Amino acid sequence: MEEAFGDPRYEEFFERFFGQQPRPSTPRENTRPVVSTGSGFIISEDGYLLTNNHVVEDADEITVSLGDRREYSAEIIGADPRSDVALLKIEAEKSSNIENWKI
Protein backbone atom coordinates (compact mmCIF):
# COMPACT_ATOMS: atom_id res chain seq x y z
CA MET A 1 0.00 0.00 0.00
CA GLU A 2 2.92 2.37 0.64
CA GLU A 3 3.79 2.37 -3.06
CA ALA A 4 0.32 3.74 -3.83
CA PHE A 5 1.03 7.05 -2.07
CA GLY A 6 2.44 9.42 -4.66
CA ASP A 7 1.37 7.19 -7.56
CA PRO A 8 -0.71 9.32 -9.98
CA ARG A 9 -3.01 6.34 -10.68
CA TYR A 10 -4.28 6.42 -7.07
CA GLU A 11 -4.35 10.20 -6.57
CA GLU A 12 -8.10 10.61 -7.06
CA PHE A 13 -8.85 7.76 -4.64
CA PHE A 14 -6.73 9.21 -1.83
CA GLU A 15 -7.97 12.77 -2.43
CA ARG A 16 -11.55 11.60 -1.73
CA PHE A 17 -10.58 10.51 1.79
CA PHE A 18 -7.67 12.73 2.73
CA GLY A 19 -8.13 15.83 0.60
CA GLN A 20 -5.58 17.23 -1.76
CA GLN A 21 -2.07 16.79 -0.42
CA PRO A 22 0.54 19.48 -0.88
CA ARG A 23 2.95 18.79 -3.70
CA PRO A 24 6.62 18.59 -2.87
CA SER A 25 8.38 21.66 -4.12
CA THR A 26 11.93 22.36 -5.05
CA PRO A 27 13.58 24.23 -2.19
CA ARG A 28 14.41 27.79 -3.08
CA GLU A 29 18.00 28.81 -2.86
CA ASN A 30 18.68 31.54 -0.34
CA THR A 31 19.39 34.63 -2.41
CA ARG A 32 19.98 37.01 0.49
CA PRO A 33 23.39 37.01 2.14
CA VAL A 34 23.46 35.55 5.62
CA VAL A 35 25.04 37.86 8.17
CA SER A 36 26.31 36.37 11.41
CA THR A 37 28.03 37.87 14.40
CA GLY A 38 30.46 36.60 16.95
CA SER A 39 33.10 37.79 19.33
CA GLY A 40 36.85 37.52 19.47
CA PHE A 41 39.99 38.86 21.08
CA ILE A 42 42.88 40.84 19.68
CA ILE A 43 45.91 38.81 20.72
CA SER A 44 48.77 40.74 19.11
CA GLU A 45 49.70 44.22 17.98
CA ASP A 46 50.26 43.01 14.44
CA GLY A 47 46.58 42.23 13.89
CA TYR A 48 45.99 38.64 14.99
CA LEU A 49 42.64 37.81 16.55
CA LEU A 50 41.28 34.71 18.23
CA THR A 51 37.65 33.70 17.78
CA ASN A 52 35.52 30.56 17.57
CA ASN A 53 35.69 28.39 14.48
CA HIS A 54 31.89 28.11 14.26
CA VAL A 55 31.74 31.89 13.87
CA VAL A 56 33.84 31.92 10.69
CA GLU A 57 33.94 28.37 9.29
CA ASP A 58 31.67 28.82 6.25
CA ALA A 59 32.24 32.55 5.76
CA ASP A 60 32.86 33.95 2.30
CA GLU A 61 33.83 37.30 3.76
CA ILE A 62 34.88 38.32 7.28
CA THR A 63 34.65 41.84 8.66
CA VAL A 64 36.01 42.65 12.10
CA SER A 65 34.27 45.55 13.84
CA LEU A 66 35.95 47.18 16.81
CA GLY A 67 34.29 49.00 19.69
CA ASP A 68 35.27 52.37 18.21
CA ARG A 69 33.39 51.43 15.00
CA ARG A 70 36.49 50.82 12.89
CA GLU A 71 36.05 47.88 10.51
CA TYR A 72 38.66 45.66 8.88
CA SER A 73 38.57 42.78 6.45
CA ALA A 74 40.05 39.64 7.96
CA GLU A 75 41.34 36.35 6.67
CA ILE A 76 41.41 32.99 8.40
CA ILE A 77 44.99 32.01 9.18
CA GLY A 78 44.11 28.73 10.84
CA ALA A 79 41.14 26.95 12.35
CA ASP A 80 40.42 23.83 14.39
CA PRO A 81 36.80 22.64 14.28
CA ARG A 82 37.41 20.11 17.05
CA SER A 83 38.44 22.71 19.62
CA ASP A 84 36.26 25.39 17.95
CA VAL A 85 39.10 27.91 17.67
CA ALA A 86 40.09 30.13 14.73
CA LEU A 87 42.97 32.54 14.21
CA LEU A 88 42.25 35.60 12.08
CA LYS A 89 44.50 38.32 10.70
CA ILE A 90 43.46 41.84 9.82
CA GLU A 91 45.44 44.29 7.76
CA ALA A 92 45.27 47.72 9.35
CA GLU A 93 46.83 50.83 7.91
CA LYS A 94 49.70 52.29 9.90
CA SER A 95 47.57 55.34 10.62
CA SER A 96 45.04 53.15 12.45
CA ASN A 97 47.29 53.18 15.53
CA ILE A 98 47.08 49.42 15.93
CA GLU A 99 49.89 49.44 18.50
CA ASN A 100 47.62 51.33 20.91
CA TRP A 101 44.92 48.69 20.97
CA LYS A 102 44.34 47.29 24.40
CA ILE A 103 45.61 43.74 24.46
What's the pLDDT at 85? 97
What's the pLDDT at 12? 77
The segments of the chain whose pLDDT lies below 50 read 95, 102-103
Cα 85 to chain centroid distance, Å, stands at 15
86, with CB counted inside 10 A (0-12, 13-18, 19+), is buried
| Domains detected in the chain | 26-100 (2.40.10.10)
Q: Is 88 helix (H, G, I), strand (E, B) or coil?
A: strand
**Which stretches within the chain are classed as H helix?**
11-18, 53-56
pTM, whole model, 2 decimals? 0.61
What's the pLDDT at 103? 40
